[in-house]
């Protein structure tokens, strides 16, 4: 654990968060990385620009990792690195928030066991940190425009959409429905379904036939979620 504490302190992570990690006891699905595992992952991260701001902290022992942003606009937020599908969008606002969720739900043994309401992002509520999130989103837009690496662009778009407030879906998420990156388009579709964003219904209906292949099913599912939120059936 000392190796993790040293790295976090070096990056200016709050003492309270570092102390909470130091007090954390590994359990099924959430194991603190040993120094050897940590060093191996850090070496791997160093080979890919998309991981430049991340530090791995915990693993589920199935080659998936819980990571902390230690630099960049998402600093202090945590994400889940799944070896099957790259998705570095923030899930918790801070290390403390993540560790509290793990402690509060001892019968959850991995990220897939957590319901959407357990996460800080995405959220169906306007955050008290709305102004701060808007500043982060502004920086992410700049990074998106400057991205030359495909993975970096995709993950920046994922992060940007994850932080979008329910009040800003039209401005932030809706434009990505026409994105050329099929994964970005699919994520935008899924998030509008998550938010049950009714004004997008007509566009989503069109996307059931003209989206990228992976987006067509996502659009049908999103439409059903919108219909369910209205108490209707979607055919």
Q: Per residue in 101-134, pLDDT tens?
A: 999 888 877 888 888 888 999 999 999 999 999 9
**Both tokens assigned to 22:** 């130091």
Mean pLDDT of 37-48: 96
pLDDT over 60 (residue 16): yes
Mean pLDDT of 72-93: 97
**Residue 117 confidence (pLDDT):** 85
Instruction: Please identify which residue in the block is written with the tokens 């998030």.
Output: 191
The alpha helices in 66-149, defined as continuous H runs, are 95-104, 130-146
Asked whether 20 and 95 are in contact (CB, 8 A), the reply is: yes
- Interval 159-189: pLDDT, tens: 999 999 999 999 999 999 999 999 999 999 9
Q: Which of 65, 90, 87 is nearest to 75 (CA)?
A: 90
Distances in whole angstroms, Cα of residue 226 to Cα of each of 194, 204, 214, 218, 230? 8, 10, 19, 12, 7
pLDDT over 50 (residue 234): no
Give the rounded percent of residues in the chain with a pLDDT score beyond 90: 89
**Residue 112 confidence (pLDDT):** 81
For residue 122, whether the previous peptide bond is cis, meaning omega lies within 30 degrees of 0, is: yes
Q: What is the pTM of this model?
A: 0.94
- Reported as a pLDDT band with limits 50, 70 and 90, residue 201 is very high
Query: 40 CB contacts (<8 Å, ≥6 apart)?
Result: none
**Residue 137 confidence (pLDDT):** 98
Asked whether 120 and 93 are in contact (CB, 8 A), the reply is: yes
């Amino acid at each position: 654990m000392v190796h993790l504490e040293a790295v976090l302190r070096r990056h200016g992570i709050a003492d309270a968060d570092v102390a909470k990690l130091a007090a954390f006891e590994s359990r099924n699905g959430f194991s603190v990385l040993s120094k050897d595992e940590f060093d191996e992952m850090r070496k791997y991260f160093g080979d890919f620009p998309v991981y430049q701001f991340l530090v791995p902290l915990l693993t589920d022992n199935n080659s998936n990792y819980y990571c902390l942003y230690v630099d960049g606009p998402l600093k202090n937020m945590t994400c889940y690195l799944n070896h099957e599908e790259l998705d570095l969008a923030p899930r918790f606002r801070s290390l403390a928030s993540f560790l509290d969720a793990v402690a509060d739900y001892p019968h959850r043994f991995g990220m897939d066991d957590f319901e959407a309401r357990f996460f800080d992002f995405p959220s169906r509520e306007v955050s008290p940190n709305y102004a701060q999130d808007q500043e982060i989103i502004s920086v992410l837009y700049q990074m998106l425009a400057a991205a030359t690496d495909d993975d970096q662009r995709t993950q920046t778009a994922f992060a940007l959409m994850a932080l979008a407030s329910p009040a800003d879906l039209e401005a932030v998420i809706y434009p990505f429905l026409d994105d050329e990156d099929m994964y970005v388009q699919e994520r935008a579709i899924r998030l509008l379904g998550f938010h049950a964003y009714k004004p997008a219904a007509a566009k989503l209906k069109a996307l059931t036939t003209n989206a990228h292949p992976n987006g067509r099913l996502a659009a049908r599912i999103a439409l059903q979620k919108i219909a369910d939120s209205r108490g209707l059936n979607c055919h």
